[in-house]
Amino acid sequence: MSTTHPALARLPALIAPGQPPTALAPMQDVTDLPFMTAIGECGAPDWFFTEYFRVTETSRLEKHILRSITENPTGRPVFAQLIGENLPALRRAATELLKHPVAAIDLNMGCPAPKVYKKNVGGGLLRDLPKVDAILGTLRDAVTTRPFTVKTRIGFEDTRSFESLLDLINKHQVDLLSLHGRTVKELYRSEVHYDYIARAAERVACPVLANGNITSAEKAAAVVTETRCAGVMIGRSAIRNPWIFRQVRERFAGQPVTRVYLREVRAYVDRLWTVTDTPGIPERARVGKMKKYLNFVGQAMDAGGAFLAAMRPTATAAELFAVCDQHMLAEPDALFADEPFAGVIARPNCETPHPGPDADEACSLDTITA
């Protein structure tokens, strides 16, 4: 499978020229330098996107996010993502970032976490297209030596402004649009509206990356065919399966897709534990961070969710690794599932409906936003 979108020439070179590009979606508190390092060892995407830099009148570039650009060992380009609504501050942050080896400046207009959109940033901007117009104009004017890109959703509560949003993408000559095929209010609960991604791919001048439920190499190929988008952006499925980008390239090339065994999954767990080690972090906090990853890994471990049920109550490293050994090394040559098992939920308190006006606030993993 190949792509011929002429505007791809303005973007960083691909691992496999001529194939649809792949990108690791930005996920707050996940796509940091350690996680990018771990993903890179399994098969890097064409492009990485950072967690978002929070931009306000008094903000400064967060050092730990900057490290994912300046110290990245993968050899792959890193797009720096901004979130904010203050025009002078966004201009200042973009200008500062351009002093570093960023591949592009990306604007977050899709984060669906209520604590974010209630501040009228991220997905909240989709309620105010005149403000979007001003922000896109400001950043396009500031970012001239590198690509300027946008990640967004198809609307806030509905899609009534979708066509107008696409007009703004064209007006400001955005170089790449990453589009999650749900509205902000749909979070992750609905089916992905790939027909809107197809409409964007047809209407905008820049390449479009399809985002949302790209769960496997086969699904990536199907979505590219269905939407005629330029490529795919993968988020939560890359936490579950860090080999997915290599597998997608194999599928696009018409080659057999590499299968993954449980012993390799167990080695991935060890690698995550190693790369996320930070001096002075209490053991319980490290275990908690590992459980954030393993909530997604567990979606492809067993159809009944037995691994997740055993893993979630653990409090110490010894308990956590004992559960991993039990479920991953009892049959080390068993295959890891290519797709998540139906009904095995990684985020049980935000992927299933909840009653009450503050239901959206209850998500314990609401910082994973892709």
Single out the residue of 179, 160, 198, 175 nearest to residue 105, CA to CA: 175
Tell me how crowded residue 158 is: count the other CB atoms within 10 A of its CB: 11
Kindly name the residue from 111, 229, 350, 363 that is annotated as catalytic: 111
CA distance 276 to 37: 10
Q: Is the dihedral of CA 104, 110, 111, 116 positive or negative?
A: positive
Query: How many CB atoms are closer than 10 A to CB 89?
Result: 18
- The answer to whether 143 and 137 are in contact (CB under 8 A) is no
Least Cα distance to 276 among 259, 266, 288 occurs for 288
Query: Is 350 noted as a catalytic residue in this protein?
Result: no
Q: What are phi and psi of 233, to 5 degrees?
A: -115, 125
* Structure letter (DSSP) for residue 207: -
Question: Which regions of 184-281 does DSSP assign to beta strands (E)?
Answer: 208-211, 231-234
Distance of CA 244 to CAs 33, 146, 254, 337, Å? 19, 28, 15, 12
Specify which residues 176 forms β-bridges with.
149
Measured over the CA atoms of residue 101, residue 107, residue 112 and residue 117, the dihedral's sign is positive
Catalytic residues: 111
